[in-house]
Each structure stands twice: as C-alpha cells, then as structure tokens.
Amino acid sequence: VQLVESGGGLVQPGGSLRLSCAASGFTFEDRAIGWFRQAPGKEREGVSYINYNDGITHYPDSVKGRFTISIGHVNNTVYLQMNNLKPEDTGTYYCAAGIFSGLLVAGLGGDPYGIDHWGTGTLVTVSS
C-alpha cells in the first residue's frame, strides 16, 4: 500500500510541470487527495486538494489559476498540472490521501488527522 509521486525536475520560471501521484494497494474512492510542498527551512504548505467522489477542488491563493489538480480514474492516479512556475514554487512535493478537512489542516501547518497515506515526495526546482 503506497503513494508514489513522479514528474518533478528542474524548470525555468514561467515553465510547466505535471506531477503524478499513483496509488497502489488501495483506491482513492471515498477519499480526498491533497498535494503539499515543503521548501528547506519552511513549513509544509498545501497547494491543491480534490475530493475523489465529486471532484470538488480547493486551491490556496498562492497557486490559484496556475495549478490544476485532476483525477485519472482509469489508472488510480492524481495529477497536478503546474503552469507559470515561479522560484517560490520550489520544494519537495508530496501527495496524501485521507479526509478533506484533515488534508486542509495539514496544508495549513496543523497537526494532520484522518490521513491514510503519504507519498515520499518528488523535488521541483524552479530556477533560471
């Protein structure tokens, strides 16, 4: 049972990346999925959330209009499309699955609850 992120790398400011979060050993059904990032010396920050069953999404203002979270129902994968990337988007990106409110709390730096699985992360570096 695990979540595995992929798709990170080095990109220039203004560029795009698409991250993937693949689940194995369980399905996303009846769960919410969140993408988080953490830069060195900074707190964890939630950047995108989606409820699997109804597709409701939530984005913080820092990424709204630039990031899009989506679900690949066929392959049990959640994607994060990141456009117009900025240097401050640099960090290790993690996905997690659990209850929506718990993911939101985790994204605000609070003690996470109701989170079943965390991935191990993929590094995104935005630099010229």
pLDDT at 22 over 80: yes
Report CA torsion sign: 84, 89, 93, 97. Answer: negative
Bridge partners, 80 (sequence order): 19, 69
> Average pLDDT, stretch 58-87?
95
123 pLDDT exceeds 90?
Answer: yes
The pLDDT-based confidence of 91 (bands split at 50, 70, 90) is: very high
Proportion of the chain above pLDDT 70, given as a percent: 100
Which residues neighbour 12 within 8 Å (Cβ) at sequence distance 6 or greater? 126, 127, 128
Structure tokens at 115: 């989170």
